[in-house]
Structure 1
């Protein structure tokens, strides 16, 4: 079965985005896992259980995170929907974040 991790970098500060809340849901919207990024901006295992193939969404509470630092921002949250194919693998979904933009990719 498949495992999932994430890493968030604050592009404006050039530093990890520590303390950012992240939630994982399935295609029906059921919450499968949640966590808060560590001091290195990482969540090494978003769920305690392996993931089957399917479509999932990671939601990053970016508005709350920026607000906590008194930073004006445009996106109240960032949602990344992705598909896990059949097979066994580790999936890593990084987020490069700034107050007015973001980018992501399938990491390793």
Structure 2
């Protein structure tokens, strides 16, 4: 996973509106070495049938901050049934045209060398939550 000189990152997504993994969500990984440094795009991948993204690029040595960008709008556009079910349970009228209130989710976090960071995304059409997993 990680060496003594770099951190490593993994993630998965659970669609809490249906209690299932979110398959096919594109994820981009960026890193920087210090608060004032420029972000460097490292590449990306997409979640598999289990909602996991197993092939994110390795972090370069000296990385101090990581950003995961989740493209959620395309997922909810493809998966309209969970959106319609969730909207039907809301008291407020529909106020958006896209399949997701949050069309993308960007998570930024600090890392230290030698540590592994598993950052799950709990997602539904109207909100999300993240945490440092194990």
TM-score normalised according to structure 1 size: 0.89
Gaps of 5+ in 1: none
Q: 1:22 aligns with which of 22, 27, 37?
A: 27
Equivalent residues of 1:6, 1:43 under 8 A apart: yes
Supply the distance in 2 between the matched residues of 1:19 and 1:74 (Cα, whole angstroms). Answer: 18
- Cα distance in 2 for partners of 1:6, 1:51 equals 18
Q: Deviations over 1:53-97 (max 9, x none)?
A: 311110000011101123432011000000112x30211110000
Q: Runs of 5+ in structure 2 lacking a partner?
A: 1-5, 33-37, 84-98
Matches within 5 A, 1:56-95: 56-70=66-80, 71=83, 72-85=99-112, 87-95=113-121
Q: Is the 8 A contact 1:3 1:51 kept in 2?
A: no
Partner Cα separation in structure 1 for residue 100 and residue 52 of structure 2: 21
Does residue 33 in structure 1 map to residue 43 in structure 2?
A: yes
Superposed CA RMSD: 1.4
1:21-42 deviations in Å (ceiling 9; x for gaps): 0001124232112000011000
2:74 match: secondary structure: helix
Shift of 1:51: 4.0
Please identify which structure carries the higher strand content.
1
- More helix as a share of residues: 2
Q: Distance in 1 between matches of 2:21 and 2:60?
A: 26
How many pairs are equivalent?
106
Residue 10 of structure 2 is matched in structure 1 by 5
Larger Rg: 2
TM-score (norm 2): 0.73
> Where in structure 1 do 4 or more consecutive aligned residues deviate above 3 Å?
50-53
Matches of 1:54 and 1:41 in 2, distance apart? 26
